[in-house]
Structure formats: structure tokens, C-alpha cells
Amino acid sequence: QVQLAESGGGVVQPGRSLRLSCAASGFTFSSYGMHWVRQAPGKGLEWVTIIWYDGSKKHYADSVKGRFTISRDNSKSTLYLQMNSLRAEDTAIYYCARGGGYDYGTFDSWGQGTLVTVSS
């Protein structure tokens, strides 16, 4: 079965960096677009970024553009999110999600999430 396992979250000071990882198993990772979606404490879901199956295309929410970078290593079936210049408003649970459908636009499997807290 599809499994996604995020790691790398923690407490970080404003302005610092953090890298999240998402280990995938149970499916052909290299055939799917992948997303990061976040959820601030007690709030709703916010899409963050998508990467195409081969890494050729990437798109970002305006709120993270220029600060966050999505990448993947298909040989390791792993997705990454490099987060720089972190702000208090980036505090959230970060989920990786598989992009389902022909356009990868449906989030058909989710990891359990990793909590990022930005605080001094």
C-alpha cells in the first residue's frame, strides 16, 4: 500500500532554515507528481508546492515563493522541501501528498505530517 513518511520538522528560529523529507513506498514514486500541503495550528489546509514526476516543473504558493524549494530524488523515492528565511507564519504541520489523476491535481495519499514551529 502507499506509504508516505515525513521527517525533519522541529523548532527553528525566525530567519533560519530547515529541510523536510518525505520517504515514499508502495508505489512507483518516479511516475507521480508530488505536493507539500501545510496546516497551521487549528486552521485549514494550504497548498504549498508541487513538483512534476521527473522534477522538470515546479510551482509554489505566493506565500513561500523565493524562500522554499521543492526537490526529489527518484532513486531514493524521496521528496524534499528546503525552507529558508522561515517566519512565524510558516508554523504548521507539513504534509507530503501524492498527486493523483492525469494532472497530479488531486491529493490521493497523504503522509502523517511533520510539525514545524518557527519561534525565537
Partner 1 sequence: EIVLTQSPATLSLSPGERATLSCRASQSVNTYLAWYQQKTGQAPRLLIHDASNRATGIPARFSGSGSGTDFTLTISSLEPEDFAVYYCQQRSNWPPYTFGQGTKLEIK
List interacting residues with partner 1 (CB under 8 A).
Answer: 35, 44-47, 50, 59-62, 95, 100-101, 103, 105-113
- Alpha-carbon distance 50 to 104, whole Å? 9
Look up residue 16 and give its three cell numbers. 533560519
Q: Give yes or no for a contact between 24 and 30, defined as CB atoms under 8 angstroms apart.
A: no
Given the complex with partner 1, which of 60 and 84 has the nearer CB atom? 60
Q: How far is the CB of 4 from partner 1 (least distance, A)?
A: 9
Q: Give yes or no for a contact between 49 and 70, defined as CB atoms under 8 angstroms apart.
A: yes
Place of cell 489546509: 45
Q: Give yes or no for a contact between 20 and 37, defined as CB atoms under 8 angstroms apart.
A: no
Q: How far is the CB of 75 from partner 1 (least distance, A)?
A: 26
Given the complex with partner 1, which of 17 and 112 has the nearer CB atom? 112
Given the complex with partner 1, which of 42 and 75 has the nearer CB atom? 42
Q: How far is the CB of 106 from partner 1 (least distance, A)?
A: 5
